Each structure stands twice: as structure tokens, then as C-alpha cells.
Amino acid sequence: MLPQHQATKSPTAGASVGCTHLLTAVTLDDSLLTYVPRSALTRMIESDSRFALRLLASLSMRVGHAVDDIEAFSLQPPAARLVTYLLRLLPPDAPTPARIELTIRKNLVAAQLNLAPETLSRYFRELKERGLISLEGREVLVHDIERLSEFLSQLN
């Protein structure tokens, strides 16, 4: 298990040319950290082009999601950030009504959305008052996904 706030070395773009960067990892739940030596990863990349392409695709998708999150959670109005976050937690063909289990505490959701916890609570309350969601602890019930999406388009 990785204790919270333990610094760990992690490969980055510079790792392939011998550079190492220290990163800090904070776990939100019990976690397992697996160490893969750079030499083993390099051998896999060199010997299996399909592995290399899958790795590249995975990293590209993660970078794309990170860029999308930065844009969405810093450029959108605060209420739109929350609605976008909730809609992203829903599976593509989620039924209506849909239940979402918040896997992290609300203060961490607020931090991820670049909101003060009080602001997050205010927007959760607004969505409840509009009849778009219900809250029970960490569970959010989205009454009508289409109405929530329409509300988001009005906010942007």
C-alpha cells in the first residue's frame, strides 16, 4: 500500500532519455502501486509494436481527458462544472432516472472542480430545487438525464 503523501518516482516523457522526475501521489483509497523497471518497459516496447501502440493510445487518451478536464473545470461557469462532472460519471446509455455514487468526498469533488466546498453545496442545492437531482449522502439521483443536459447547454 502507498501511504498518503509519499513521494514516488514516476516515468514521464523524459524517462526515455534518462531523466527522472519526482511526483507526489496522494491516494484517496487503499491503493496498490506496481513498480515496472524502465528496462523491462523498454524491452516490451521494442519487442512488441502492438504493445507500444496500445501504450501510446492509452497515454494519448489520458492526456486528452486531462486537457478536457482542465478546460471544462476552469473555463466553464461553476454550475456548469458540476453538471459536466455529474454527466461524465454516467455510463453512455444510462437509464433515467440514473444513480451516481460519488466515490470521493464532496470536498475533493469541490477541489477537482476548482470550487469552494460551500459553492459546490450551493449548486447541488440549486440542482435539487430545480428537480434535476436528489442527494442522499454520496449518492446522486439524476431524475432526467436529458433535462440535466439541457440545463448544461443553457449555462454555457
What does the pLDDT profile of the chain (156 residues) look like in tens digits? 444 444 444 445 445 556 676 777 777 778 888 888 999 999 999 999 999 999 999 999 999 988 888 887 778 899 999 999 999 999 988 999 999 999 889 999 999 899 999 999 999 999 999 999 999 988 999 999 999 999 999 987
CATH 1.10.10.10 domain residues, the chain: 76-155
DSSP state of 95: -
Cα–Cα distance, 139 to 86 (Å, whole number): 11
How far apart are the C-alpha atoms of 18 and 144, rounded to whole Å? Answer: 51
Q: How remote is the C-alpha of 152 from its chain's centroid?
A: 19
CATH match for 76-155 among 1.10.10.10, 1.10.630.10, 3.30.70.141, 1.10.3720.10:
1.10.10.10
| pLDDT on residue 83 | 95
pTM equals: 0.68
Distance CA 64, CA 57 (A): 10
DSSP-based three-state secondary structure for 140: strand
